[in-house]
A = this chain, B = another copy of it.
Amino acid sequence: MFRLQTDPLPAPADLLPRADLACGGVVIFEGRVRDYNDGRAVTALEYEAYEALALAEGERILAEAAARFAPVRVAAAHRHGLLGLGEAAVVVIAASAHRQEAFAACRWVIDAIKERLPVWKREHYADGTRAWVACGCHHHGTEAP
């Protein structure tokens, strides 16, 4: 299940049913707001999301991961709005009887989120300015991935 919310994110383990957690290996990724980027002091981070597309695309990413790395259970949540330093912006959890699949699925989901989820980050700097962050995964062309 994929969640998009302005409230602080839940503990990752709360994203999966307890029964799914009791399956050997659980891998969690948390992305948190850094205090520096490209050498500039960041004071806060603002995330804008296209909610309808983000929710649908988030569910598609999880369904693709569940099919690709089966048997594995995956869930994720992304926050939007204004976040303070150190707060979690995204969490991903993957559970599987085998830790290899759990690592691979968790890694694949966070990579897909960073490439496909319609969320944009604007950094607020110590000098009062702010700017949209250029992503590291620039895309070209006219096809959906």
A32 touching B28, Cβ below 8 Å:
no
- What separation, in Å, do the CA atoms of A35 and B21 have in the docked complex? 11
A34 touching B24, Cβ below 8 Å:
yes
Residues of A whose CB lies within 8 Å of any CB of B are: 11-12, 18, 21-35, 85-86, 97, 99, 102-103, 106-107, 110
Contacts A/B (CB < 8 Å), 26 sampled = A11-B11, A18-B86, A21-B30, A22-B32, A22-B33, A22-B34, A22-B35, A22-B85, A22-B86, A24-B32, A24-B34, A25-B31, A26-B29, A26-B30, A26-B31, A26-B32, A27-B29, A27-B30, A27-B106, A28-B28, A28-B29, A29-B103, A31-B99, A99-B110, A103-B103, A103-B106
